[in-house]
Amino acid sequence: MEYKNFPMVPRVVFGRGSFNQLGEIIEPKRTNKNSPFIFIVDDVFKGNSWLVDRIPLKNNDKIIYVSAHEEPKTKYVDQFRDDIEAEFKEIPSGIIGIGGGTMLDYAKAIALMLTNPGSSADYQGWDLIKYPAVYHVGIPTLSGTGAEVSRTTVLTGPEKKLGMNSDYTPFDQVILDPELTKDVPDNQWFYTGMDCYIHCIESLTGTYLNAFSQSYGEKSLDLCREVFLEKEDRDKDSQDKIMMASWHGGMSIAYSQVGVAHAMSYGLGYLLGTKHGIGNCIVFNQLEEFYPQGVKEFKQMVKKHQIDIPKGICKDLNDEQFNIMIDVALGLVPLWENALGKDWQKTITREKLRSLFELM
């Protein structure tokens, strides 16, 4: 048995208003005055002076506003990298992602692709990255994905939806300022919060479970329950707690794996562009037979928060389209193995997946 030697984020700040420390944190990392910091910022913040005016721009530093409408694609990552290289003579001092999982993944991917030649599509997989990334910082404004701690950046490429998993992927610095999440729309707060809840259920019920993952997963699950089942308001305490739940959920899966919901949600994402949080909810809603307790509790949360989980998104698909989703899902072998053990192929047939997708 060989155990994973897992890299962790070496520096993290936590606290309301800690975003104000960004300037003093990054300035010592400036390599020279021509080498900019590039801020990858969710375009939902464009014109939002409360946030944008606090971004510590100096010299030729630049904000690039990016839409989170679509999940990151390899071709966009390559394009951002090419544009940055064309505009600046020097390699940037750092890349700072400000937003939800989409911006965090863009920041990680661009930082990696500034030092690794070729297309990001060449690096979708495990440990294909050869050179350390440019210094990169993650600042979540939406809690749940765990992208702030993870060793991957999930990308949709020409052939697959798969992350660039590597020791160079994790952020060098994370700033956890729960206040930044205060204006997230309620539905999105729920969907991405449920991503975290589902990480916990898939990790804690999986065959890969171990004390390391369990210790983080249980804490995260407790926090999710407090926020989504016990509390009446989305108050400051909830913002703090779900931000830490996301962190712990990410730490939990780092040393185990996700499961059925994620495998199938990747299929929806690849074919239909369904975003991760809502896609996980659509799938998880139909997974009683795999996660009876988790799905029961999930439904209580949906009810309490009066969330609509879309139904019927697969109703007009043809055989070819179902097959694409099934191929993507079946390709995620470690997820199935974690969920159901080494013999997973006995229960998970193409017909089985088709019948589940048809319910969605």
Binding footprint of ligand NAD on the chain (CB under 6 A): 42, 44, 68, 71-72, 99-103, 105, 141-142, 144-147, 150, 152-154, 180-181, 183-184, 188, 192, 195, 275-277
Residue 323's binding partner among ligand NAD, Zn ion, none (Cβ under 5 to 8 angstroms by kind) is: none
Q: What is the number of other CB atoms lying within 10 angstroms of the CB of residue 211?
A: 8
Residue 147's binding partner among Zn ion, ligand NAD, none (Cβ under 5 to 8 angstroms by kind) is: ligand NAD
Pairwise CA distance, residues 270 & 265, whole Å: 9
Please identify, using beta-carbon distances, which residue of 68 and 96 lies nearer to ligand NAD. Answer: 68
Please identify, using beta-carbon distances, which residue of 63 and 272 lies nearer to Zn ion. Answer: 272
Q: How far is the CB of 195 from Zn ion (least distance, A)?
A: 4
Q: How far is the CB of 277 from Zn ion (least distance, A)?
A: 8
Extract the runs of DSSP E, i.e. beta strands, from 180-274: none
Q: Token match 């989703």: residue?
A: 325
**In a 10 Å sphere around its CB, with 0-12 CB exposed, 13-18 middle and 19+ buried, how is residue 359 labelled?**
middle
How is 22-52 classified by DSSP, letter by letter? Answer: HHHHHGGG---TTS-EEEEEEGGGTT-HHHH
Please identify, using beta-carbon distances, which residue of 102 and 285 lies nearer to ligand NAD. Answer: 102
Q: How far is the CB of 134 from Zn ion (least distance, A)?
A: 26
Alpha carbon 13 to chain centroid distance?
A: 19
- Collect all residues with Cβ–Cβ distance below 8 Å to 61 and sequence separation of at least 6: 36, 37, 38, 39
Pairwise CA distance, residues 217 & 20, whole Å: 30
- Local structure of 55: helix, strand or coil: coil
Q: How far is the CB of 132 from ligand NAD (least distance, A)?
A: 18
Q: Token match 């989409």: residue?
A: 102
Please identify, using beta-carbon distances, which residue of 178 and 250 lies nearer to Zn ion. Answer: 250
Q: How far is the CB of 280 from ligand NAD (least distance, A)?
A: 9
Q: How far is the CB of 188 from ligand NAD (least distance, A)?
A: 4
Please identify, using beta-carbon distances, which residue of 147 and 264 lies nearer to ligand NAD. Answer: 147
Residue 297's binding partner among Zn ion, ligand NAD, none (Cβ under 5 to 8 angstroms by kind) is: none
Residue 282's binding partner among Zn ion, ligand NAD, none (Cβ under 5 to 8 angstroms by kind) is: none
Q: How far is the CB of 281 from ligand NAD (least distance, A)?
A: 11
Please identify, using beta-carbon distances, which residue of 196 and 271 lies nearer to Zn ion. Answer: 196
Whether the CB-CB separation of 67 and 166 falls below 8 Å is answered with no
Element (H, E) at 138: strand 136-140
Please identify, using beta-carbon distances, which residue of 190 and 290 lies nearer to ligand NAD. Answer: 190
- For the chain, the 3-state helix, strand and coil shares in percent, each to the nearest 5, are 50, 10, 40
Q: Enumerate binding residues for Zn ion (CB under 5 A).
A: 195
Comparing every residue's Cβ against Zn ion, the nearest one is 195
Extract the runs of DSSP E, i.e. beta strands, from 43-93: 62-66
Quote the tokens at residue 302: 């949906």
Q: How far is the CB of 25 from ligand NAD (least distance, A)?
A: 20
Element (H, E) at 251: helix 236-254
Please identify, using beta-carbon distances, which residue of 189 and 357 lies nearer to ligand NAD. Answer: 189
**CA distances (Å), 227 to each of 97, 247, 254, in order?**
26, 15, 23
Element (H, E) at 156: strand 154-156
